[in-house]
Amino acid sequence: MKIVIAPDSFKGTITSGEICDIVGAAAARHFPRAEIVKIPVSDGGEGMVDALLAGVGERIAVEVTGPNFTEEQAAYGILPDGTAVIEMAAASGIMLAADPKRPMDATSLGTGQLIRDAARRGCRKIILGIGGSATMDAGLGMAAAMGVRFLDGSGAEVEPTARGLGKIARIDASVVPGEMDGLKILIASDVKNPACGETGSAQVFGRQKGASRQDIAEIDEWIVRFCGLVREATGKDLLHTPGTGAAGGMAIPLLAFFGADIVPGIDLILDAAGFNEKIRGANMVITGEGMLDGQSLEGKVPVGVARRAKKEGIPVVALVGDIGPDYARAYEEGITAVFSTNKAAVPFEIAKQTSKEDLALLADSLFAFKAMR
């Protein structure tokens, strides 16, 4: 028996590494002679650093500016080949945002500070995961920390927030520090949304970050204007570029001023983990995430894992926190069965209190059933 465990985190409750340990312990109880392979996975959000470091490389802790301008301790990783692995969520994530959330006044400065720190340490390649963001500033704060100047009509630098987007009159990228030259930045994201419009950053993702209807309308208008200024400064028209709507428009300045590329997060992580080689000969693959629904087909971990396992003819079981609308489409992608840890229909704030115990019980039930067959 060979069992591969390759989950995403249950955001805000259990890390992907913890899930591997919980499920692995249950598997070992029922199949003590089994080979158990643990592969913590991420699609570019929370857990990406852990998934890519996987016991190798170095973890760097840095004091940064959080989304509400408070000082925060954030960490990123440096792989043995010198590649820096950075999660936007560590510095500008929604879990760091004050309650009530104020996306109009939130900043991505901290993410830029992490990138700048990695560049100063000699890293020439950056893998940046932009999931779990609290900001809607179109990367204004991040780019400012990296050396781009955003000026108002009087020549003063604007505040590095969504509100500051509406005050920009001119962009000056001529003073970007030398350590940023030649930096290769890969943005790990599976979001295909454009910068603005009905399927854009503000309209689709604004509400979950705390934006009001008026906030969303204003930010959408400001991002259109920002893209126009970017086009004037660089000649690059990014207004309708797929992926620029992720994380409040974070990709816009990275594509415009730093030559970044957007890459599918799940494929990047699975390739880096050697996933295809590790699942060979497996009898089953266990995956999972906090919520499995129709959106999971847009590059989320369970479906990314299932698509690869399907090619090898390996059954895939998804253990998830909850099941949402249109989840059944995942069966077409290679998922064999889906089980939720929720024992009763209770609010998330209650369910998360026993999430680890519920997962352990679910995994134990799964492997007990498998052992009987």
pLDDT digits (tens, 9 = 90+) for 29-63: 999 999 999 999 987 777 889 888 877 889 999 99
Chain mean pLDDT for the chain: 93
- Average the pLDDT over 280-301 and give the result: 92
b (16+ CB within 10 A) / e for 232-254: ebeeeebbebebbbbbbbbbbbb
Given 233, 265, 297, which residue is the final one in a domain?
265
243 and 336 assigned to the same domain: no
| 185 located within any domain | yes
**Residue predicted with more confidence, 56 or 218:** 218
User: What are the E-state strand segments in 17-173?
Assistant: 35-38, 58-65, 71-78, 84-87, 125-129, 149-151, 170-172
- Min mean pLDDT across 34-48, 133-147, 250-264, 280-294 is at 34-48
116 and 245 assigned to the same domain: yes
- Average the pLDDT over 187-206 and give the result: 92
pLDDT over 80 (residue 344): no
DSSP string, 198-253: TTSHHHHHTGGGT--HHHHHHHHHHHHHHHHHHHHHHS---TT-TTTTGGGTTHHH
- Average the pLDDT over 342-361 and give the result: 84
35 and 173 assigned to the same domain: no
315 and 256 assigned to the same domain: no
131 alpha carbon, distance to own chain's centre: 3
H or E element at residue 255 = helix 251-258
Given 230, 265, 300, which residue is the final one in a domain?
265
- Average the pLDDT over 359-364 and give the result: 94
CATH number of the domain where residue 302 is located: 3.40.50.10350
- Domain of residue 18, residue span: 2-41+288-372
User: Structure pTM?
Assistant: 0.85
**Residue predicted with more confidence, 135 or 99:** 135
For the segment 100-127, what is each residue's pLDDT rounded down to a tens digit? 889 999 999 999 999 999 999 999 999 9
Residue 47's pLDDT is: 80
Amino acid at 324: G
- Min mean pLDDT across 12-21, 75-84, 162-171 is at 12-21
Residue 229's pLDDT is: 97
191 and 167 assigned to the same domain: yes
The bridge status of strand 149-151 relative to strand 170-172 is antiparallel
259 and 331 assigned to the same domain: no
34 and 183 assigned to the same domain: no
Residue 190's pLDDT is: 82
Q: What angle do CA 135, 140, 143 make, to 5 degrees?
A: 120
Residue 373's pLDDT is: 64
If one counts the domains in the chain, the total is 2
Torsion from C-alpha of 172, 127, 260, 159, nearest 10 degrees: -30
- Average the pLDDT over 216-222 and give the result: 96
Question: Which residues pair with residue 71 across a beta bridge?
Answer: 65
Portion of the chain with pLDDT greater than 90, in percent? 77
- Average the pLDDT over 143-172 and give the result: 97
Residue 131's pLDDT is: 87
Given 265, 300, 323, which residue is the final one in a domain?
265
354 and 327 assigned to the same domain: yes
DSSP string, 315-338: -EEEEESEE-TTGGGGGGGTEEEE
| 300 located within any domain | yes
Closest CA to 88 of 71, 113, 70, 69: 113
pLDDT over 80 (residue 77): yes
Residue 185's pLDDT is: 97
324 and 181 assigned to the same domain: no
CATH number of the domain where residue 72 is located: 3.90.1510.10
Residue 22's pLDDT is: 97
| 272 located within any domain | no
| 70 located within any domain | yes
| 282 located within any domain | no
Closest CA to 302 of 342, 343, 333: 333
Residue 54's pLDDT is: 76
Q: Binning pLDDT at 50, 70 and 90, where does residue 372 land?
A: low
| 275 located within any domain | no
| 279 located within any domain | no
292 and 227 assigned to the same domain: no
Amino acid at 156: A
234 and 340 assigned to the same domain: no
| 360 located within any domain | yes
- Average the pLDDT over 1-21 and give the result: 91
31 and 142 assigned to the same domain: no
pLDDT over 90 (residue 248): yes
